[in-house]
Structure 1
C-alpha cells in the first residue's frame, strides 16, 4: 500500500498573519497524524510574503510539539544556502527533541530568486556545484566521522532520515549513487518526472541506508464534496503560482470562481503545465487521479499539498483525500 504524507507551505493568507499561519500549520499536522499520514513536511523559502517557513528548523520544532508520532521534516532544506555544520546542529537538535521522527530532505535550489545570494552573501552557483560534497559532509557530521576537524554538537550521532529532492535528472542521479530515498517535486515541476524516476531506479546503488530504490511523488490535492467546490478552493493557489511566475508573489488570495477561464491562453497553458500533477474534485475524482499516478510512477509514497485560503477547507480536503486513497 502506498504511503501518504503531507507537504505544507505555511501559507500566509491576505489579511492574515504569520502567527495565524503557524497556528494553522500545527492544526493541519495534528490532523495529518490523526488520519494516519506518514510524514508532515515543510519547505524552505525566502523573501516570499505568502510563505512563513523560511526558518525551517524553528517551524519543525513548533509542529513537533503539536504532534506526537508523525514523522516531521524538511521538503526541503536548500543546502546551498547553508553550511553543512549548521544544518547538522539544527537537525541534530530536532532529532534530540523528537527522536525517531525527523526527516531531512535536501534540495539544490536556492528557494528564492537571485537576490537571495546577495542577502546571504554567498555565491549560490558555486555552492550548488558543491552540493554533492556538502551532502557527503553532512552525512559525515551525523556519523561523527573522526576525520572531521570539528564534531557537530548537537548532531554527531543523530539519525534523521536523509532524502534527496529534485525536479531534474541531477537529483535522481545523485540519490541513486548515494543510495538515498528520492522525492520528486512534481507538484510544481512535473516535466521530468518519468525520466527522473527511471534514471533513479536504473542506476540505484544499495547503501547502508537503503537496500532498494524508494520514491516519493508530490501532487497537488484539493478534495471537496463537489468538483466545483474543489476547483474553487484550488484557485487561490492557482493565483499564487501565476503571481510567482510573473514576478509578483504575495500572500495567498481568496478563491475566485472560474479563475482559470479568466486567464489568457499563454498564462493558462503555463499554469496547466506547472500543475499537471494534480488531483482536484470529489473523493472519487481524487482516488481515480491518484491511483493513476501511482500506477504510472510506481511511487512508494505520495506527498499531497494544496494550500487554501480558508484553513477549514484544507482540513476537509485532507480528510476526504485520506478516505479516498484508503487501500491504494
Structure 2
C-alpha cells in the first residue's frame, strides 16, 4: 500500500467561522493519527473566504498540541511571501515543541491573487532565481552556516524540506537540491507525468535524501455509496468554479445535480481539474486510487477531501483508509 497523508485547507463552510474550522482541523488530525495516516499538512492561502489556514505555522502549533505522533507540516509555505529567516524561526519553534514531527514544504506561488500578494510583500519585484536562492538561504539557517545571522530556534534542527510545485520548475529544483518533491495534482494535474519524469531523471542525492521521493496530491471523497460521494463532491465543485471565476467563497453545502447545470466548457474544466480523484463508495475509491497509483507510481499520496459536513469528512478519510488496507483478493487456482 502506498502511504497516505492528508492535506487540510481548514475549510470555512457556509454558516460557520474560522475558529470552528481550525477546531475541526485539529479533530481531523487526531482522527488521521488514529487511522495511521503518515502526515497531516496545512496549506498557506490568503484572502480566501473559505480557507482558515492563512497563518499556517500558528495553525500547525494548535494541531500539534492536539496530537502526539502524526507528522505535521506545511504543504506549503509560500516562500516569496516571507523572509527565509522568519520561516526558519517559525518552523524551528514548531520542531522544538514537537520534535521529530515537523515537515516544511515550500512553494513559489503567492497562494492568493496579485492584490493580496502586494499587501503582504509591498512589492512584487522578483526574478526567476529568487526562489532557489531563498530555499538555499533557509536551509542554511537550519545548518547554522549563514554567518552572524542565526535562526533561534531553528539552528541545528533536522526539519525535512520539501519542494512543492505544479510545473517543471519545482521538479528541476527539487532534483538539483536532492529534496523530496510534492506535485499539486489535486488541482493542477496537467504537467504531472512530465514533472515526475524530470524529477526522477535529474535527481542528485543529498544529505537529506539518497533517492527520489514523489508525493502526489489526490482528491478522495468516499461515502457508503457512489451517489452519496458524488453529492458530497458538489461542494468542492462549486468552490472550484467560484475560484476560477475570481470569486472565492466559503465551502457551500452539497447541491444535487450541480455539474449538470453548468455550461459544457465549465464541466470540462471541472473534469480536468479534478481528474486526480477518487469519488465513490469504498469499492469505487479503491479501484480509482489503484488505477492512479499504477499509472504514476508515487512514493506517497497526499489526500484532500473538501467536504461540507465535518462528520462526513471524517468518515470519508476512515472509509478510504479501510478500503486501501483491504488485502487483494486471492487468485483462483
What is the DSSP-based 3-state SS (H/G/I as helix, E as strand, rest coil) of the residue aligned with 2:247? coil
2:266 equivalent in structure 1: 267
Cα distance in 2 for partners of 1:318, 1:325 equals 11
Task: Give the C-alpha shift of residue 6 in structure 1.
Answer: 0.3
Over 4 Å off, 4+ runs: none
Cα distance in 2 for partners of 1:305, 1:82 equals 25
Cα distance in 2 for partners of 1:60, 1:119 equals 23
1:257 equivalent in structure 2: 256
1:165 aligns with 2:164: yes
TM-score (norm. length: structure 1) = 0.98
C-alpha contact (below 8 Å) 2:46/2:112 kept by paired residues: yes
1:287 equivalent in structure 2: 286
Alignment of 1:159-238 (within 5 A): 159-238=158-237
TM-score (norm. length: structure 2) = 0.96
Task: Give the C-alpha shift of residue 110 in structure 1.
Answer: 0.2
1:22 equivalent in structure 2: 22
Task: Give the C-alpha shift of residue 117 in structure 1.
Answer: 2.7
Cα distance in 2 for partners of 1:130, 1:221 equals 35
2:99 equivalent in structure 1: 99
Cα distance in 2 for partners of 1:124, 1:205 equals 32
Task: Give the C-alpha shift of residue 158 in structure 1.
Answer: 1.7
Task: Give the C-alpha shift of residue 128 in structure 1.
Answer: 5.8
2:309 equivalent in structure 1: 310
Structure 2, gaps ≥5 residues long: 329-333
Cα distance in 2 for partners of 1:125, 1:275 equals 33
1:10 aligns with 2:14: no
C-alpha contact (below 8 Å) 1:166/1:185 kept by paired residues: yes
RMSD: 1.2
Aligned residues: 327
Task: Give the C-alpha shift of residue 127 in structure 1.
Answer: 6.2
Structure 1 range deviating more: 114-123 or 219-228: 114-123
Task: Give the C-alpha shift of residue 250 in structure 1.
Answer: 1.1
Cα distance in 1 for partners of 2:125, 2:31 equals 39
C-alpha contact (below 8 Å) 1:80/1:127 kept by paired residues: no
Structure 1, gaps ≥5 residues long: none
C-alpha contact (below 8 Å) 1:80/1:128 kept by paired residues: no
C-alpha contact (below 8 Å) 2:77/2:104 kept by paired residues: yes
Cα distance in 2 for partners of 1:124, 1:182 equals 26
What is the DSSP-based 3-state SS (H/G/I as helix, E as strand, rest coil) of the residue aligned with 1:126? coil
